[in-house]
């Protein structure tokens, strides 16, 4: 394992990257630049693999001041207890997790949200990201978040009138949110794809490029709140759009909606809970935010919940 020790002392842009060992090899990650380097020539014995999922998403609260028709966030009031959350994140950080993505609901409605980001970025080596509709980010909040957040995902489902019909907020105000967000950290655009938003994809991707977005994340609509999710013909048209896409902003797709689309997974050997886990606002650890089952973490350790969910997953396979 001498070569592993040598690789661990590699620097990226003059900084020591976080090192994660797993079935895919040795993974170096620099949260400040977002650079990932996978050394897959080295074979890591299973006993050295990281226990923490590569990335964790956490719904801080179910509260949101918007009411998007396709929203899958539970509507029962719930919010995570801050000290417990910080303990989970400290444990995950120490066990190889690379990043946390805060969501909800609307994470900026979580009490002292900017202070939480500051604490996590200064007390752990996790990359701090969050997903937001953007309308609550004013100049004061932007100032508090700057330097404590590594990436922001802005939800923009449709352009102009489509956006305003679905989100019931001014698109002009959303464009102002983009301006503020890009002054905080690198950002990406999240885009729910359904029969209403499909035709705006070209304009949305062009807008993302003009605004300087680092990525454009496609979220084929999932079944929720009595809606069936993206229909087959819209999914087929989305697939054609992806194949013909020539824009400069890299495309990503949510795992839940990736079926049938041409995307590559850089680490197919690191899947399931090794790659990703979700914690909802009730403190339940799930395989994804769309998954019905899960393990309530309660006052226990998050790593114990991960092991318990892993055993549960194996038993149903």
How far is Cα 194 from Cα 205, in angstroms, rounded to an integer?
Answer: 15
Q: How far is the CB of 40 from ligand SF4 (least distance, A)?
A: 36
How far is Cα 209 from Cα 155, in angstroms, rounded to an integer?
Answer: 15
Tell whether residue 73 is a contact of ligand SF4 (CB under 6 A). Answer: yes
Alpha-carbon 124 to chain mean position: 18
In the list 105, 134, 186, 220, the residue contacting ligand SF4 (rule: CB under 6 A) is 105
What's the token pair of residue 177?
């949110």
Helix (H) or strand (E) holding 120: helix 113-123
* Binding flags for ligand SF4, 12-31, as an x/- string (CB under 6 A): --------------------
Using CA of residue 313, residue 314, residue 315, residue 317, what is the dihedral sign? positive
Q: In what order do the strands lie in the sheet with 251-253?
A: 251-253, 215-220, 187-193, 151-155, 127-132, 99-103, 55-59, 276-279, 284-286, 295-296
DSSP annotation of 44: P
Q: How far is the CB of 131 from ligand SF4 (least distance, A)?
A: 8
Name the one range near ligand SF4 by CB under 6 A: 61-69, 216-224, 226-234, 303-311.
61-69
User: Considering beta carbons, is residue 73 or 217 the nearer one to ligand SF4?
Assistant: 73
DSSP annotation of 60: -
DSSP annotation of 68: -
Q: How far is the CB of 154 from ligand SF4 (least distance, A)?
A: 11
Tell whether residue 306 is a contact of ligand SF4 (CB under 6 A). Answer: no
Tell whether residue 104 is a contact of ligand SF4 (CB under 6 A). Answer: yes
Tell whether residue 153 is a contact of ligand SF4 (CB under 6 A). Answer: no
Does the N-terminal peptide bond of residue 105 adopt cis geometry, omega within 30 degrees of 0? yes
* Rg of the chain (C-alpha set): 19
In the list 32, 37, 71, 303, the residue contacting ligand SF4 (rule: CB under 6 A) is 71
Q: Is 175 helix (H, G, I), strand (E, B) or coil?
A: helix
# binding residues, ligand SF4 (CB under 6 A):
11
User: Considering beta carbons, is residue 119 or 135 the nearer one to ligand SF4?
Assistant: 135
Task: Please answer whether residues 154 and 189 qualify as being in contact, where contact means their C-beta atoms are separated by less than 8 angstroms.
Answer: yes
In the list 19, 58, 68, 204, the residue contacting ligand SF4 (rule: CB under 6 A) is 68
Tell whether residue 106 is a contact of ligand SF4 (CB under 6 A). Answer: yes
Tell whether residue 224 is a contact of ligand SF4 (CB under 6 A). Answer: no
How far is Cα 280 from Cα 239, in angstroms, rounded to an integer?
Answer: 30
In the list 18, 20, 54, 133, the residue contacting ligand SF4 (rule: CB under 6 A) is 133
How far is Cα 51 from Cα 136, in angstroms, rounded to an integer?
Answer: 36
In the list 64, 78, 193, 238, the residue contacting ligand SF4 (rule: CB under 6 A) is 64
Q: How far is the CB of 67 from ligand SF4 (least distance, A)?
A: 5
User: Considering beta carbons, is residue 18 or 133 the nearer one to ligand SF4?
Assistant: 133
Name the one range near ligand SF4 by CB under 6 A: 48-56, 78-86, 100-108, 240-248.
100-108
The residue ranges that bind ligand SF4 (CB under 6 A) are 64, 66-68, 71, 73, 104-106, 133, 155
């Amino acid at each position: 394992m001498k070569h592993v020790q040598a690789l661990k002392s590699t620097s990226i842009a003059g900084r020591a990257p976080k090192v994660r060992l797993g079935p895919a090899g040795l993974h170096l990650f620099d949260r400040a630049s977002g650079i990932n380097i996978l050394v897959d020539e080295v074979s890591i014995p299973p006993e050295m693999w990281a226990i923490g999922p590569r990335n964790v998403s956490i719904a801080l609260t179910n509260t949101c001041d918007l009411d998007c028709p396709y929203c899958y966030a539970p509507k029962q009031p719930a919010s995570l207890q801050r000290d417990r959350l910080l303990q989970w994140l400290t444990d995950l950080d120490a066990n190889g997790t690379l990043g946390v993505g805060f969501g909800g609901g609307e994470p900026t409605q979580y009490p002292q949200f900017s202070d939480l980001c500051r604490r996590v970025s200064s007390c752990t080596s996790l990359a701090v990201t969050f997903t937001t509709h953007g309308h609550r980010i004013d100049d004061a909040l932007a100032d508090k978040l700057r330097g404590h957040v590594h990436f922001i995902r802005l939800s923009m489902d449709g352009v102009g009138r489509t956006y305003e019909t679905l989100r019931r907020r001014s698109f002009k105000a959303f464009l102002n949110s983009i301006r503020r967000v890009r002054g905080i950290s690198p950002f990406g655009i999240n885009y729910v794809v359904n029969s209403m938003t499909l035709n705006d994809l070209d304009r949305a991707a062009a807008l993302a490029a003009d605004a300087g977005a680092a990525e454009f994340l496609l979220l084929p609509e999932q079944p929720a709140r009595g809606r069936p999710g993206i229909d087959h013909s819209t999914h087929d048209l989305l697939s054609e759009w992806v194949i013909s896409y020539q824009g400069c902003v890299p495309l990503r797709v949510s795992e839940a909606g990736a079926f049938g689309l041409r995307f590559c997974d850089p680490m197919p050997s690191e899947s399931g809970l090794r790659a990703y886990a979700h914690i909802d606002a009730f403190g339940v650890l799930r395989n994804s935010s769309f998954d019905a089952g899960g393990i309530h973490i309660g006052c226990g350790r998050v790593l114990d919940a991960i092991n318990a969910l892993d055993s549960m997953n194996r038993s149903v396979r």
